[in-house]
Homo-oligomer: A and B are copies of this chain.
Amino acid sequence: MQDWLTARVNASPDALALIIGEERWTYAELEGLVNGVYDRLRQAGVQPGDFVAVLLPNNLAYVCLIHALARLGAVLVPLNTRLTPVELQWQLDHMGCDWLIYGEETAETAKNCAAKLGIGKIEVGDLEIGDLTQPSISNLQYSIANLQAVVFTSGTSGRPKGVTLTFTNHFYSAMGSAYRLGVLPDDLWLSCLPLYHVGGLAVIFRSCVYGTAVDLHPRFNLEEINRSLDGKPITLISLVPTMLRRLLQSRDHWPASLRLILLGGTAAPPELVKKANSLPRKNIHHSPFPLVAPTYGLTEAASQVATMRPEAVMQKLGSVGKPLLFTQVKIVAEDGRERPSGKYGEIVVTGPTVTPGYFDKDGKSEIGDSPQSSIANLQSSTSTIHTGDIGYLDEDGDLWVVQRRTDLIVTGGENVYPAEVEAVLRKHTAVAAACVVGIDDPEWGQKVAALIVPQAPDAVTAEALIVWCRERLAGYKIPRLIRFTDKLPQTASGKIARKEVQKSLHNTISNNVH
């Protein structure tokens, strides 16, 4: 098989591939740039099978590197640019990376890390991105079972894990997404998610196999996103709820070209989805039609696991819909048995998009000694991941994600799902947002604690909320500790930073004691 960029250029060289700001490249032009980067990576000494860490913001160089490393047979290890030097060094070492590619913004940190670990370093400026060369790639033998990347999960708890992703994973993810959301040759996907997260990375591969275009943003900048939406024929956009909320505050209509908002990262609040779906579209005078497609995605499944079509979303606010084609979702009890519909349990995902395993330099056995060769054997099979997330399938087969298991609170032997408590708190008219966590407790193991953002300062008291909960929740689910704040802390990917909430609530108690 041809590599995807070669196949794409063969099939539609003149199709638009990439827009950044006011600049644009067709697939033939992009391939010219990738050829140049490929040649210079080889000259620098990068070998097939090398692990190549990339510490860059979203930009043209990054997109070229993704394709050039794929052609070279080297494995991309995308690094989070928001990490501290200590965290980066741990990740580079943990993966046994051979190379680190960095940019001007990240030069100091990168040089420091690379020197300490004895890793080859390449400044992205040396790759002369933008220097268009003629097609010069020999016809490499290419297997879609090869390892494409190791992506760190952005989990809010514990050390990040390196998730291996093969081209097969991306291939089926692209296909499943196409058949769920639709794909049209003139699609233009606005992507402002970082390329070091699977949500951002997947858009690049998806577009390449589809032959469609990406409008790539370095970050979520409200003004820039709105400029794109109003000035370019954007048809799809990936957002997390925080971004959508900010967009809605700034807009009174959607552009006529937009056909879908893929909303992931964390559970989509029903009110937000309703508001987004009721916003009118420019120049379309009939009643507004729904745009929001809530999705449940995992780094371990190359992005989307289940996605609700916009047409169905208003009837099932809160659900993420049915799994993509060939992806199977089961709900499993702690004893490993499958749970019937309507019953909570761990979400277990099987399918061709699922990672063959986690990887680190010391634990290569998880996927074999040589990832390239051992993963090749997995080509025709599907993998299974026990997500640790809690949810249920309703009678129609739609998935409802209730909680990340890492956030499960166990108090006095009883399980408490924070989402359930949060939902009750949020229903109180004086509550704008709520985060419920478990904090250590000598008597009960954990106790339920809540951090509340009130609609206005002093709009409600802790006592009033406890009374409110007592009417609506079993005794063991009621928060033992309630604190107020003006903003919930968030992670880089827009999730609530539960560990941070937990820590601050824990400190509250400790301070009280002393």
A residues whose Cβ falls under 8 Å from a Cβ of B: 1-2, 7-8, 10-14, 143, 145, 175, 178-185, 209-211, 309, 311, 322-328, 352, 379-380, 382, 396-397
Contact = CB atoms under 8 A, between A and B. Distances in A.
A325 B382 contact: no
Contacts of A145: 380
12 contacts: A1-B380, A11-B180, A11-B322, A11-B323, A13-B397, A143-B380, A178-B183, A182-B182, A182-B185, A183-B183, A211-B325, A379-B380
Contact of A182 (B12, B184, B326): B184
A16 to B, nearest CB: 13
Contacts of A396: 13-14
A12 B307 CA distance: 11
Most chain B beta-carbon neighbours within 10 Å: one of A10, A143, A180, A183: A10
Contacts of A12: 322
Nearest to A379: B380
Contact of A325 (B13, B209, B309, B325): B209
B382 A11 contact: no
Given A179-B209, A182-B183, A185-B180, A2 B397 contact: no
Given A352-B1, A382-B1, A326 B397 contact: no
Contacts of A178: 178-179, 183
Contact of A175 (B2, B175, B311): B175
Nearest to A325: B11
Contacts of A180: 11, 185, 211
A335 B326 CA distance: 45
Contacts of A309: 185
A205 B2 CA distance: 24
Contact of A328 (B10, B324, B328, B379): B10
Contacts of A10: 322-323, 325, 328, 397
Contacts of A211: 179-180, 325
A262 to B, nearest CB: 14
Contacts of A1: 326, 352, 380, 382
A71 to B, nearest CB: 16
A329 to B, nearest CB: 9
A330 to B, nearest CB: 11
Contacts of A183: 178-179, 182-183
A327 B1 CA distance: 9
A326 B2 contact: yes
Contacts of A382: 1
Contacts of A379: 380
Most chain B beta-carbon neighbours within 10 Å: one of A13, A145, A175: A175
A366 to B, nearest CB: 23
A9 to B, nearest CB: 9
Nearest to A143: B380
Nearest to A175: B175
Nearest to A184: B182
Nearest to A397: B13
B182 A328 contact: no
A325 B8 contact: yes
Contacts of A352: 1
A147 B107 CA distance: 55
Contacts of A175: 175
A325 B179 CA distance: 16
B179 A326 contact: no
Given A178-B178, A179-B209, A209-B179, A325 B7 contact: yes
A232 B311 CA distance: 19
B210 A326 contact: no
Contacts of A143: 380
Contacts of A182: 182-185
Nearest to A327: B11
A14 B315 CA distance: 14
B184 A184 contact: yes
A380 B143 CA distance: 8
A121 B352 CA distance: 39
A183 B187 CA distance: 11
A1 B352 CA distance: 8
A381 to B, nearest CB: 8
A295 to B, nearest CB: 14
Nearest to A179: B210
Given A182-B184, A185-B180, A2 B328 contact: yes
The 3 closest A-B pairs by CB, nearest first: A182-B184, A11-B325, A7-B326
Contacts of A181: 185
